[in-house]
């Protein structure tokens, strides 16, 4: 009897924690976003389409998920349409986009209304997110547009496995607040509905899209910073991310390619003077081989001895900049010592390959010169002997010729 109770209790605990684990996997793995809705704003008693993005941002595949739209007043699902989508298994890093068609009640509140979208993992409850939907009787009668003024990346050039920020600056280039066309005044304000940066197989955009970003007046600018991450083992090169901007009213949409540079080169150290040529010290040359500046560059010695300074802090290094670094050394033995370089590319720490310096090794060039110097007297003596012998034979030959 006791064994049967213990078995039932064990099965219950396993099922309970498995359910918790599955719920946590879903909650930590899926992200739901509203990409866009059309029309904007939507009028009462009209149809509305919304596009929902679901992305697996976790480390595992998610199975048994359903994506659900929970329409509340003034929104209802159109007849024949479904408010539930069944993607099945959503693999790691997969992005799915679903379109839902709804109708807006004729007595809808004019202004901002809320729409709930979320997901379920099996029967573990509903994880939801709320989005604002603008309902209005008239489309804003504006003619303002924006253009991409500049793009900045921090750091300027990323390395594999780096995280950074891409900031897009958009400007309303209009000079006046109103423009008269056909005897009618039009506003030159620019209304921005959404702005989204889309990643690719090498670079992931970790920042959320912007929705209902507001109004940009003539001559004004607005910044959209997006967090990005370069995946490990990404080859060097320039990668283009898709930037999609949707404007409200008469503002034209933008679809642009945003470049992001990736370069795996590092800072490097070389030996300027060996301990043999500079007893009690080591002199290094440290160069920044990267196409952008790096920060907090530090040379760190390692070995059985005392180094002065214990670490050499260089700080900021511009591209192609060279520093000379000197360490005073009191070695406890003749084993090799190492010098490694640590630096920051943006907010990312990196270490370059360590430089090994041999304390007991001989300098081949110095040894060769020493050997040549020791052989020089011998060569000179042999040359003198040959000269003397040659002169002796020449003199003897001349004497024999005269006596004959």
Report whether pLDDT(241) > 60: yes
Burial environment of residue 342 by CB neighbours within 10 A (0 to 12, 13 to 18, 19 or more): middle
Domain made up of 147-262: CATH architecture? Sandwich (2.60)
Sketch the domain layout of the chain as residue ranges.
2-135, 147-262, 267-357
Bond prior to 41 in cis (omega within 30° of 0): yes
Q: Which fold has domain 2-135?
A: Immunoglobulin-like (2.60.40)
Closest CA to 40 of 136, 170, 117: 136
Bond prior to 305 in cis (omega within 30° of 0): no
Helix H, strand E, coil C: the string for 116-152 is EEEEEECCCCEEEEEEEEEECCCCCCECCCCEEEEEE
pLDDT tier at 104 (50, 70, 90 boundaries)? very high
Report whether pLDDT(382) > 50: yes
Residue that wins the pLDDT comparison between 106 and 162: 162
pLDDT at 9: 53
Q: Which of 27-36, 62-71, 114-123, 213-222 has the lowest mean pLDDT?
A: 27-36
pLDDT at 379: 67
Is CATH 3.40.190.10 what the domain over 267-357 is classified as, yes or no?
Answer: no
pLDDT at 246: 81
Distances (CA, A) of 31 to 9, 25, 55: 35, 12, 5
Q: What is the mean pLDDT of the chain?
A: 81
| Same fold across 147-262 and 267-357 | yes
Q: At 59, list the tokens.
A: 């480390």
Q: Sign of the C-alpha dihedral, residues 56, 59, 63, 69?
A: negative
Report whether pLDDT(182) > 80: no
Residue that wins the pLDDT comparison between 212 and 174: 174
Residue that wins the pLDDT comparison between 110 and 371: 110
Whether this model's pTM surpasses 0.75: no
Q: What DSSP element (H or E) covers 391?
A: helix 364-403
pLDDT at 254: 85
């Amino acid at each position: 009897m006791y064994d049967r109770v213990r078995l039932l209790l064990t099965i219950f605990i396993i099922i309970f924690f498995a359910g918790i684990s599955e719920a946590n996997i879903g909650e930590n793995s899926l992200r739901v976003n509203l990409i866009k809705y059309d029309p904007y704003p939507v009028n009462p008693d009209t149809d509305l389409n919304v596009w929902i993005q679901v992305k697996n941002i976790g480390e595992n595949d998610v199975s048994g998920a359903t994506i659900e739209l929970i329409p509340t007043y003034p929104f209802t699902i159109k007849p024949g349409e479904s408010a539930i989508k069944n993607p099945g298994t959503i693999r790691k890093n997969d992005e799915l986009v679903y379109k839902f068609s709804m109708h807006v009640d004729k007595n809808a509140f004019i202004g901002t209304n809320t729409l709930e979208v979320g997901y379920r993992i099996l029967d573990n409850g509903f994880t939801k997110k709320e989005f604002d939907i603008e309902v209005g009787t008239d489309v804003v009668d504006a003619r303002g547009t924006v253009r991409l003024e500049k793009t900045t990346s921090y750091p300027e050039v990323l390395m594999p496995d780096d995280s950074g920020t891409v900031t897009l600056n958009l400007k309303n280039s209009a000079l006046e607040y109103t423009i008269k066309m056909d005897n009618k005044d039009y506003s030159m304000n620019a209304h921005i509905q959404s702005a989204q940066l889309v990643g690719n197989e090498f670079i992931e955009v970790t920042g959320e899209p912007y929705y209902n970003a507001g109004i940009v007046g003539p001559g004004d600018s607005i910044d959209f910073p997006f967090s990005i991450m370069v995946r490990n083992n990404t080859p060097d090169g320039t990668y283009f991310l898709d930037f999609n901007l949707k404007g409200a009213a008469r503002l034209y949409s933008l679809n642009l390619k945003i470049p992001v540079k990736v370069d795996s080169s590092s800072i490097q150290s070389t030996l300027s003077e060996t301990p043999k040529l500079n007893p009690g010290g080591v002199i290094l040359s440290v160069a920044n081989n990267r196409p952008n500046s790096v920060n907090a560059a530090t040379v760190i010695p390692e070995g059985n001895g005392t180094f002065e300074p214990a670490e050499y802090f260089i700080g900021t290094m511009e591209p192609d900049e060279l520093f000379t670094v000197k360490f005073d050394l009191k070695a406890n033995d003749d084993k090799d010592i190492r010098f490694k370089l640590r630096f920051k590319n943006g907010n990312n720490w990196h270490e370059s390959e360590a430089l090994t310096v041999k304390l007991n090794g001989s300098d081949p060039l110095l040894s060769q010169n020493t050997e040549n110097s020791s052989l020089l007297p011998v060569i000179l003596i042999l040359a003198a002997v040959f000269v003397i012998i040659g002169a002796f034979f020449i003199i003897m030959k001349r004497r024999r010729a005269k006596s004959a």
